[in-house]
Chains A and B, each alone.
Chain A
Amino acid sequence: MRTENSQLPQDIIRGYIMDNVSLPDLDDNFDIFDAGIVNSLFAIELMTFLEKAFSIKVTMEDLDMENFKSVNATSDFVLQKKGVQSA
């Protein structure tokens, strides 16, 4: 999946996280919650960002930290969600 400006979900998600936390670089498998570098406010902001950027709706069933713990996990979640919603 690519967006209109041909960015991959990983690029968009990585860019958003790096814009909002103090990290010089970010490995796509780095667990941002386990590392304690984000707070609960950011968790909700990230959820809202995903909904707006990828036109998805995060439901109660989706609320699992495993879905948002890293760039790759979040990207997988978005792709799975887009697949479900467009099916």
Chain B
Amino acid sequence: MLKHLLLNNEQKERWQSFHQFALEHVGPAAAGWDRDRGVPRAVVSRCADAGFVGGIIPEEYGGGGWDAVTFGLLNEALGAASSSLCALFTVQTMVAMTLVRWGTDEQKKKYLPPMAKADIIASFAMTEPKVGSDIQAVETTFTPKGDGYLLNGTKKWITYSAIADIFLVFGKNTDGKSMAGIVKSGAPGVTVKPLKEMMGFRGAHLSQIEFDNCEIPPADVVGKPGLVLNYVAPYGLHWGRISTAWSSAGLLRACMETSAAYALERRQFGGPISEHGAIRQLTTDMGVDLEAARHLCIVSCMAEDAHAPEAMEKVLMAKYFSSRAAARAASDTIQIMGAAGCHEENTAARLYRCAKIMQIIEGTDQVLQKVLGKTFCKRHGRKVKKM
């Protein structure tokens, strides 16, 4: 019903094609990617051939020129089948849209067309062993050398970095000013160490990246020193949250479908467990959460497409709600399925493992509470006259 109310015909048709792709090419293979600890590069290429990897990149740079809603629908459809694959769209888009907004003309022309075709896979290298949510505390250093810089430091938990061709790396220069630069994965001084044993997102090629006097030419410096962590990085994270919010909504839908199918089939005490009040409570909460998550996702992306100032806040809300709702739904799916849901051969177990990751990436629940809670108190508290 929701899609009939809020989506235009082009968006509906694309969503249908995303679902078809997920049904044919993602769902049947997703457990294998999880087990083998990696989405194959050939699958990435197949997504690129379908126009998915560069869908959000402007047409002038070889992309599809999609709106944010359509990009979200892609993440919902494929995220329901594989969080690991969907994470590719998350990180590729974080880097691509950062360059679209803040890159130089030369950087856009050099990097965006191959990124649109997935000839270049890009990772957003922010998190460090000691630095997560507090991005202002990054310890990676950009030391001036000639016209460029020497990069030193370690990034960790970087999605798709094990197979990425370039990294957008964040750090500070010797004056303490925030900086960002593009580094090729095979450049001298770069060491990539894959992190294979993740709880969820097992196919998403996470790794630790070490930079040892790695050279960054001036042409690959992104943004103005000192303003990178306030303006450049938040823009990339904003697009990461759009992707994660929708991917969480997709995972939530997968939980709903898995739970409902099982509850209708499974019989206890003389009837299907879907008839039991306690199970109905779980499926009711799941269904309402799914509808609410979709509303928040669509409205936040409509705000983004309208270039509305409040888009960033609405995306924060969508990511916050969807990821938490997905985690609740995944837990309840296991509860409904009992022992069957606890076995690795069951999709529910993978949904459960990946759902927890959603509450951590692109802003933990607690960081989003810090921002949104303060905003809401300021906005609404002053409307009440003091007694």
- Whether A45 touches B223, Cβ cut-off 8 Å, given contacts A60-B102, A63-B231, is no
Residue interface mask A36-74, B partner, CB < 8 A = 1: 000111011111110110000000110110000000000
Instruction: Find residues 14-34 in chain A having any chain B CB closer than 8 Å to their own CB.
Output: 16, 20-22
Contact, CB under 8 Å: A41 / B312: yes
Contact, CB under 8 Å: B234 / A39: no
B264 within 8 A of A: no
Query: Which chain A residue shows the least CB distance to B374?
Result: A39
Contact, CB under 8 Å: B308 / A20: no
Residues of chain B contacted by A52 (CB below 8 angstroms): 307-309
Contact, CB under 8 Å: A41 / B378: no
Q: Smallest Cβ distance from B231 to chain A, in angstroms?
A: 6
CA distance A12 to B378 in the complex (A): 21
Residues of chain B contacted by A43 (CB below 8 angstroms): 230-231
CA distance A64 to B230 in the complex (A): 11
Q: Smallest Cβ distance from A47 to chain B, in angstroms?
A: 8
Residues of chain B contacted by A45 (CB below 8 angstroms): 309-310, 312-313
Give the bracket for the number of chain A residues in contact with chain B.
20 to 34
Name the residue in B231, B235, B311 with the highest tally of chain A Cβ atoms < 10 Å from its Cβ.
B231
CA distance A21 to B375 in the complex (A): 9
CA distance A48 to B312 in the complex (A): 10
B385 within 8 A of A: no
Contact, CB under 8 Å: A60 / B308: no
CA distance A46 to B308 in the complex (A): 10
Contact, CB under 8 Å: A49 / B309: yes
Query: Which chain A residue shows the least CB distance to B104?
Result: A60
- Whether A41 touches B371, Cβ cut-off 8 Å, given contacts A22-B381, A51-B307, is yes
Contact, CB under 8 Å: A20 / B379: yes
Contact, CB under 8 Å: A63 / B227: yes
B224 within 8 A of A: yes
Q: Smallest Cβ distance from B109 to chain A, in angstroms?
A: 16
Q: Which of B223, B308, B371 contacts A48 (CB 8 A)?
A: B308
CA distance A21 to B381 in the complex (A): 11
Contact, CB under 8 Å: A48 / B311: yes
Residues of chain A contacted by B310 (CB below 8 angstroms): 45
Contact, CB under 8 Å: A48 / B309: yes
- Whether A63 touches B224, Cβ cut-off 8 Å, given contacts A45-B310, A51-B307, A52-B307, is yes
Residues of chain B contacted by A41 (CB below 8 angstroms): 234, 312-313, 316, 371, 375
CA distance A73 to B147 in the complex (A): 32
Q: Smallest Cβ distance from B276 to chain A, in angstroms?
A: 44
Known A39-B374, A44-B235; further 8 A-B contacts with Cβ < 8 A: A21-B378, A40-B230, A43-B231, A47-B231, A48-B312, A52-B308, A52-B309, A60-B102
Query: B residues within 8 Å of A by Cβ?
Result: 102, 104, 223-224, 227, 230-231, 234-235, 307-313, 316, 371, 374-375, 378-379, 381-382
Query: A residues within 8 Å of B by Cβ?
Result: 16, 20-22, 39-41, 43-49, 51-52, 60-61, 63-64
Show 8 A/B contacts (Cβ-Cβ < 8 Å), sorted by A: A43-B231, A45-B310, A45-B313, A48-B307, A48-B309, A49-B309, A52-B308, A63-B223
